[in-house]
Structure 1
Amino acid sequence: MTILRWILLPFSLIYHVIIWVRNLLYDFQIFKSKSFDIHTIVIGNLAIGGTGKSPMTEYLIRLLKDEYKIATLSRGYGRKTKGFRLVELSSQAIEVGDEPLQFKKKFPEITVAVNEDRCAGIEKLQEYHDVIILDDAFQHRKLKPGYSILLFDFQSLYQPIILLPTGNFRDIFSSTKRADLIIITKCPEIISENKKAHIEHLIRKHNTAPIFYTRIGYDKPLNILGKTYAEELTDKYIVLCCGIANPTPLVDYLETKGNKVQLVQFPDHHNYTADDYEKIKAIFNQIEFPNKLIITTEKDLQRIDKESFIDYPLLYIPIHLQTADKQQLTFDHFIKNYISKNLN
């Protein structure tokens, strides 16, 4: 953490007080939260940056879509539009956001919608659906969800738990008490009992909810036409271009397979421009290595003009969530039990 960020600590303390008072007003129902008869599952985090909310949303979609009429509702971060919009296969990321567009393309049979006002969005969706999954809505206190899943990046629990701008947290840690399930994401392959004890000591001060440990699984690379890359992804020179909050796990994954990785990083939810494409291609063209590729993430692909790379070997790597503690069936049980116990 830089010295400048520590200098800004007084602002973090002010922000802490503001968030604490706001939550207190909701807890004592001075500010009102609205609940709905429909099943609502909120996915969120307390810190900024990528904790794996999108893979968790996709996991829940796969788990529930064959039994229930599913809708996802997101803010649509990075879009240039306002209000409620249904996401179509023909939509653009600039209209609906990259993650909602990704959901729709992977699961065209479900309803995907965006609205910064989650309660208003639910009102439009509830009549025709059984379950609404709300991505990144844990801080949306106007909504009282039926079930809340709170995600923590493994590494974030080994850093100072301080609010912005000094730290990386956007909500106070005691808000953990509102979660029904707690997921520790991006875990290493092996988690020592001491590290688990440290994490659970932090969380158990506020919540006795079940804790699950998960990591990111990487699927086979696909080309821009959605076809599987035929070769092994080893011993390549890779230009990795991405606009995600934390590309480190992806860089580590590629490097452990014996690849040389040159990261071209953009801000999270970055809207790519023609200059960006020229920069990426110039870097690629300068590499004097026969086995070279351009790789991006599935989220970034929603914002990239594929035609600009028609003559380049551009691939993307889909990801999925996998439990690190072999408790997938237990996790599934908690989710399905919530829905089955509350059927209308």
Structure 2
Amino acid sequence: MGMNKWRILLFPFSLIYRIITIIRNKLFDWGIIPIHQIQLSSIGVGNLSVGGTGKSVFIDFLITNFKKEYDIAVLSRGYGRKTKGVLVADQISSSATIGDEPFQFFSKHKDVQIVVAERRLKAIKRLTQMNPKLELLLLDDVMQHRYVSPSILILTTTYDKPYFSDKLLPVGNLREIKSGAKRAEIILVTKCPDQLSEDKIKVISEKLNLTSIQQLFFTKIKYSPIIQNELVNIKLKNIKEHFVLVTGIADPDPLVKYFKTKGLIFTHLKFSDHHYFSANDLEKINKTRKSSKVITTEKDFTRLASLIEKESLFYIPIEMEFLNLEMEIKFMDYLKKKIQIN
């Protein structure tokens, strides 16, 4: 069955979902469901789409830049974890107990408090009790969690698959209608090409139909020229043999393209986002790789580290960059003014 036929069949469900999300948002807008303003300098990050918008890489960017100056914490839902309630990351935490993305943050930033909770308001109260000197809170995946309102809300959307070209679930990948983007004060277009013309920027800006108070910024992905694990770092240019690329993220295409531009020889095993690897998955990976290396993403590394021998499993570090230094400075200056940390 073709894609158009599937969309026709799914359209009634999309219409029902649209009505439900509109009513839910109106209940918040009208104050029938209360919204609690966070009494702490805070940055909320979210999206309209289901995964793959570069949200986690952006959170990592914020952690790296703000922890140098302020006492910060990160609050996430902990999607995919096998636990419930409010949990603070510690030395016995794993991707199973706090979720793969929070565990990735904790693994990279041991000096930052990482907390997961379904009920963010309850977690915020717990955080402020634990650390009265807390200066800045970063909230991951908070766009649709409207029970709390941060100092500023930032929406991430990708260059190749912007939300204005998408459709509502289940026909497309949007969690709510496009007008929900108006709640964000900053729109961050992620995964842009290295060179982006002023004309293209103008076209995207027009299609986003920004309000007078919204700010627009553009970022790109920067992959490391090395792969690494706990034992060793290896330059990509020195990898001549076949390896297996294992991904369990929403959008592995940029990484696949990057490896191909480097002339690397590999087999790609693609799994769903936040995938927990089973015994059958491991058997498939080992059958494919035989004795070769397994390279994966930072996020997937947290779930594969206990399944594959240390000397064979590697990940490639990833960072987010703005299109140019001038844009980054403008973004950081604007953000610091909005959160007003004394």
TM-score above 0.5, yes or no: yes
Q: Please tell me whether residue 211 in structure 1 is matched to residue 212 in structure 2.
A: no
Alignment-mate amino acid for residue 74 of structure 1 = S
**2:121 counterpart residue number:** 119
Which one is further off, 227-236 or 5-14?
227-236
1:235 shift after superposition? 4.8
Alignment-mate amino acid for residue 47 of structure 1 = S
Q: Please tell me whether residue 169 in structure 1 is matched to residue 183 in structure 2.
A: no
Residues in 1 aligned to 2:89 and 2:171: alpha-carbon distance in whole angstroms: 36
Contact 1:213 1:325 in 2 (8 A): no
Q: Residue 133 of structure 1: SS of its match in structure 2?
A: strand
**2:57 counterpart residue number:** 55
Q: Residue 7 of structure 1: SS of its match in structure 2?
A: helix
Contact 2:163 2:178 in 1 (8 A): no
Residues in 1 aligned to 2:247 and 2:184: alpha-carbon distance in whole angstroms: 31
**Gap regions ≥5 residues in structure 1:** 287-291
Residues in 2 aligned to 1:226 and 1:45: alpha-carbon distance in whole angstroms: 36
Q: Please tell me whether residue 225 in structure 1 is matched to residue 230 in structure 2.
A: yes
Instruction: Give runs of aligned pairs for residues 244-255 of structure 1, distance below 5 A.
Output: 244-255=249-260
Instruction: Give runs of aligned pairs for residues 59-208 of structure 1, distance below 5 A.
Output: 59-127=61-129, 128=131, 129-157=134-162, 160-206=165-211, 208=213
Residues in 1 aligned to 2:122 and 2:267: alpha-carbon distance in whole angstroms: 43
Residues in 1 aligned to 2:84 and 2:225: alpha-carbon distance in whole angstroms: 35
Instruction: Mark the CA change 1:2 to 1:89 in structure 2 (over 3 Å): closer, same or farther.
Output: farther
Contact 2:82 2:97 in 1 (8 A): yes
Which one is further off, 32-41 or 108-117?
32-41
Instruction: Mark the CA change 1:158 to 1:164 in structure 2 (over 3 Å): closer, same or farther.
Output: closer
1:173 shift after superposition? 0.9
Instruction: Mark the CA change 1:102 to 1:130 in structure 2 (over 3 Å): closer, same or farther.
Output: same
Alignment-mate amino acid for residue 56 of structure 1 = F
Q: Residue 156 of structure 1: SS of its match in structure 2?
A: coil
**1:8 counterpart residue number:** 10
Q: Residue 232 of structure 1: SS of its match in structure 2?
A: helix
Alignment-mate amino acid for residue 196 of structure 1 = I
**2:318 counterpart residue number:** 319
1:194 shift after superposition? 4.0
Contact 1:235 1:257 in 2 (8 A): no
1:189 shift after superposition? 2.0
Q: Residue 114 of structure 2: SS of its match in structure 1?
A: strand
Q: Please tell me whether residue 296 in structure 1 is matched to residue 296 in structure 2.
A: yes
1:204 shift after superposition? 2.2
1:269 shift after superposition? 0.7
Q: Residue 309 of structure 1: SS of its match in structure 2?
A: coil
Which one is further off, 8-17 or 196-205?
196-205
Q: Please tell me whether residue 242 in structure 1 is matched to residue 266 in structure 2.
A: no
Aligned-pair identity (%) = 38
Residues in 1 aligned to 2:268 and 2:62: alpha-carbon distance in whole angstroms: 31
**1:289 counterpart residue number:** none
Question: What RMSD over aligned residues (CA atoms) do the two structures have, in Å?
Answer: 2.0
Residues in 1 aligned to 2:145 and 2:35: alpha-carbon distance in whole angstroms: 9
Alignment-mate amino acid for residue 124 of structure 1 = R
**1:338 counterpart residue number:** 338
Contact 1:224 1:306 in 2 (8 A): no
**1:309 counterpart residue number:** 309
**2:19 counterpart residue number:** 17
Alignment-mate amino acid for residue 21 of structure 1 = I
Q: Please tell me whether residue 259 in structure 1 is matched to residue 245 in structure 2.
A: no
1:307 shift after superposition? 5.5
1:238 shift after superposition? 3.0
Residues in 2 aligned to 1:16 and 1:278: alpha-carbon distance in whole angstroms: 41
1:278 shift after superposition? 2.1
Which one is further off, 80-89 or 212-221?
212-221
Q: Residue 229 of structure 1: SS of its match in structure 2?
A: strand
Residues in 1 aligned to 2:305 and 2:109: alpha-carbon distance in whole angstroms: 21
Residues in 2 aligned to 1:134 and 1:158: alpha-carbon distance in whole angstroms: 21
- How many residue pairs get matched? 336
Deviations 1:154-202 (A, max 9, x none): 1222874310000111111111111121100011122234432332112
Residues in 2 aligned to 1:5 and 1:263: alpha-carbon distance in whole angstroms: 29
Contact 1:186 1:216 in 2 (8 A): yes
Residues in 2 aligned to 1:6 and 1:75: alpha-carbon distance in whole angstroms: 33
